[in-house]
Amino acid sequence: MKFKLLFLSFFVLSSSTFFAQQTIDKKVNDLLSKMTLKEKIGQMNQYNGFWNFTGPVPKGGDSKVKYDHLANGWVGSMLNITGVREVREVQKIAVENSRLGIPLIIGFDLIHGYKTVFPIPLAEAASWDLEAIRLSAAMAAKEASAAGINWTFAPMVDITRDARWGRVMEGAGEDPYLGSLVARARVEGFQGKDLGSPFTIAATAKHFAAYGFVEAGKEYNTVDIGLNTLHNIVLPPFKAAADAGIKTFMNSFNDLNGIPATADAYLQRDILKKEWNFDGFVVSDWGSIREMIAHGYAENQKHAGELALLGGSDMDMESSIYIYELEKLIQENKVSEAHIDDAVKRILKVKFELGLIDDPYLYCNEEIEAKIVGSKEIVDATLEVAKKSIVLLKNENEILPLRKKGVKIGLIGPLAADKSSPLGNWRIRADNNTAISVLEGLKNYKGNDLSYTQGVKLINKIPEGFHEEVQINTTDKTGFDEAIALAKKVEVVVMVLGEHGFQSGEGRSRSKIDLPGFQQELLEKVAAVNPNIVLVLMNGRPLVISWAAEHIPAIVEAWQLGTQSGNAIAQVLYGDYNPSGKLPMSFPRSLGQVPVYYNHKSTGRPGTEGEEPGSVFWSHYTDEENSPLYPFGFGLSYTTFEYSAFNLSATEMTKNTSIEASIVVKNTGKVKGKEVVQLYIQDPYASATRPVKELKGFKVIELEAGESQKVTFNLKEKDLAFYNAKQKWEAEPGTFHVFIGTDSKVKQKLTFELK
């Protein structure tokens, strides 16, 4: 009976979605049949807001021309228009002036919050808390949609291994499994269960594809990777986003094996639209259609338009090429109207699903905007997520948590009182200096005697505006003496060092990834007079901090945590929140190791550090260890965990059976704490070489002091599948190793056979 009911409700549900979908398809076709060619092309044209921009403005794309295009119905979308008043203004031009009155879809880079800022995405990934990540996206969507936005260019799901690349801050780090789950959580957060609700927005999986593999971590650089890496490492999070029902994809600036991604039909048509059945639309990146000329792939603008459309780009972001060239290309039979119809249908469908066609002003309600933007609910959520994103990297002699009474604390560092940097990059609509600083956060704990000095100054190169450049001083050491004097007087020094929020993000690749400016020198000078240092790092990428790892007793990775940054950090330093984050990206020992990542291949000469005395003929550096300073998955707690009773329920698996892998985890310390229990596998021999380890499961558990819990994972054949030498996604029979532990260094393994 129960089964029948379940089946019935499943049938009713799926058939109602089916009919809703059919209705939308019919509405799309009806509308399309009324459109002129120029109006169709207009839907494929996206302009930036006239009063703001995030890149070079196209030639001739001045405000007057854009205005006329809008009024003619030759614009399908605008980006960077925010706030109900402004959105309503542009929407009115489109709806009331154009012949068919098709509303615009309003896009925005809602990367980690709108006005209220959540931790940078890399930091959120460090929480390994998918519910928190979903909440962050949902809250950001709620706030942004209240301000008129209905489409975000997020999540960035690029897998990143090279910390020199500035955009590592925007993603979930180096692992495709974690990256896929985070991608799904963010899509679910942004889009919710009902896209037609005024509080949910369409999401974008970007940058399709392989932008995270730019050579040498240099921004906008070329990418040359094989199919093995493309399918096994780069594509899984995109696939996860597609499977989660994401509505749009954005392609990327880079070329991939010689083809600019913007025109890559293998990626956009064969894989995305055919193999994955993606029925949303693909937007180009900013000007990336035009950039194919500079790439040396398109002869001129018209050619670029042709290549982009044939390659599967449905919407042109700020190149103005589709609107000027597509009609000519049709006349010359270079592209067919069917290509255009397909793109327009995809775009219209999303507009219908968002509820925009039925009500162009669905997202334009001033009362809701006033109530929701900056509301307590959202601010409180940022604090929750921020705490969970912090990673404790070192804690010797239990210097942390700090005692709450009677301690003289010296707070030092260029970022310690800073209220801008913690907002990170891509905080486009946050008011400047609205983050709670560490100084403010620590002041809430009144039982201690707190003094502060900056030590090294920040330099504001361009003080205002989106393209703000802030650096950490490299010429002025006048603050050193005061910092050293303060350090001498106190019991504990808290130093807040790292990168300014504008030193990572788009266009911010760095060739050195140690502490910038005079910070390293300051740290060493302070440590010489008072070794009791808690180093709080704020950064948008893994940094080389080998000296600190050796000499400083406590290190807290606090990334850029957004609006509530200082409160989250203070709660962790004082033990009101027991840190539970784990690194989503390996921290290198030295720059020369980059890219360094846990799921590397074995090579033909893996050797083992220390076991090949005298030999140099194995895969290693002669002047550096192979292992990273802090591995993927690493993070400490104020308590300790012990793993025991590792067990597999069987030693054989078939296509239709599963294996239960279990382990008992005990909290062996004195306080309650959370642990991210991680399961890795290794396929030691296959038709194409496999990584030495691959994350395939994790569970976040919370244990009281002394408490134990059995943690189980269910492994199935599909967890063992990969893109193999036959260019198929499948599992190959043979031996598999399973590891369960606290981070990717875990050694203890059990073995089973896939039959």
Point out which residues bind ligand NOJ (CB under 6 A): 54-55, 79, 109, 153, 206, 285-286, 506
Contact between 235 and 209 under an 8 Å Cβ cutoff? The reply is yes
Instruction: State the maximum Cα–Cα separation within the chain, in Å, rounded to a whole number.
Output: 81
The two counts, helices (H) then strands (E), for the chain are 21, 28
The tokens of 421 are what? 């940097």
Distance CA 114, CA 135 (A): 14
Catalytic site residue from 285, 314, 316, 719 = 285
What does residue 472 show for φ and ψ, rounded to 5 degrees? -105, 135
Nearer to ligand NOJ, 81 or 537 (CB): 81
Nearer to ligand NOJ, 80 or 503 (CB): 80
As measured in angstroms, the least distance from the Cβ of 205 to ligand NOJ is 11
**What amino acid occupies position 367?**
E
Contact between 97 and 70 under an 8 Å Cβ cutoff? The reply is yes
Contact between 190 and 200 under an 8 Å Cβ cutoff? The reply is yes
Q: Which residue has the tokens 């740290």?
A: 523
As measured in angstroms, the least distance from the Cβ of 49 to ligand NOJ is 11
Nearer to ligand NOJ, 170 or 174 (CB): 170
Contact between 401 and 417 under an 8 Å Cβ cutoff? The reply is no
Nearer to ligand NOJ, 282 or 695 (CB): 282
Distance CA 364, CA 357 (A): 14
Distance CA 721, CA 732 (A): 7
If phi > 0 it is left, if psi is from -120 to 50 it is alpha, else beta; for residue 29 that is alpha
Peptide bond into 542 cis (omega under 30): no
Nearer to ligand NOJ, 58 or 479 (CB): 58
Q: CA nearest 451: which of 416, 481, 478, 418?
A: 416
Give residues with Cβ within 8 angstroms of 228, minimum separation 6. Answer: 688, 689, 723
Burial 193-230 (b: 16+ CB within 10 A, else e): eebebbbbbbbbbbbbbbbbbbeebebbbbbeeeebbb
As measured in angstroms, the least distance from the Cβ of 79 to ligand NOJ is 6
The tokens of 252 are what? 């990327």
- Quickly count: other Cβ atoms within 10 Å of residue 157's Cβ: 34
The tokens of 370 are what? 């006033």
As measured in angstroms, the least distance from the Cβ of 625 to ligand NOJ is 35
Contact between 743 and 628 under an 8 Å Cβ cutoff? The reply is no
Residue 579 gets which letter from DSSP? -
If phi > 0 it is left, if psi is from -120 to 50 it is alpha, else beta; for residue 670 that is alpha
Nearer to ligand NOJ, 55 or 734 (CB): 55
Nearer to ligand NOJ, 286 or 597 (CB): 286
Q: Is 285 tagged catalytic?
A: yes
Distance CA 112, CA 136 (A): 8
As measured in angstroms, the least distance from the Cβ of 230 to ligand NOJ is 20
Nearer to ligand NOJ, 206 or 666 (CB): 206
As measured in angstroms, the least distance from the Cβ of 437 to ligand NOJ is 28
As measured in angstroms, the least distance from the Cβ of 112 to ligand NOJ is 13
Residue nearest to ligand NOJ (CB): 153
Query: What DSSP assignment string belongs to 235-259?
Result: HHHHHHHHHTT--EEEE-SSEETTE
Nearer to ligand NOJ, 81 or 570 (CB): 81
Nearer to ligand NOJ, 84 or 203 (CB): 203
Q: Is 514 exposed, middle or buried (0-12, 13-18, 19+ CB in 10 A)?
A: middle
Distance CA 748, CA 742 (A): 11
Nearer to ligand NOJ, 179 or 441 (CB): 179
Nearer to ligand NOJ, 50 or 286 (CB): 286
As measured in angstroms, the least distance from the Cβ of 463 to ligand NOJ is 22
As measured in angstroms, the least distance from the Cβ of 209 to ligand NOJ is 13
Query: What DSSP assignment string belongs to 105-148?
Result: EEEE--SSBSSSBPPPHHHHHTTT-HHHHHHHHHHHHHHHHHTT
| C-alpha separations of 367 from 146, 363, 580, 671 in Å | 9, 11, 39, 46
563 forms bridges with which residues in the sheet?
none
As measured in angstroms, the least distance from the Cβ of 105 to ligand NOJ is 14
Q: CA nearest 413: which of 574, 538, 503, 559?
A: 538
**What amino acid occupies position 231?**
H
**What amino acid occupies position 272?**
L
Nearer to ligand NOJ, 55 or 607 (CB): 55
Q: Could you give the angle at which helices 337-353 and 301-311 cross, rounded to 10 degrees?
A: 60
Contact between 344 and 35 under an 8 Å Cβ cutoff? The reply is yes
| Alpha helices by DSSP H, 462-564 | 480-489, 519-529, 546-551
Question: Which residues are known to be catalytic?
Answer: 285
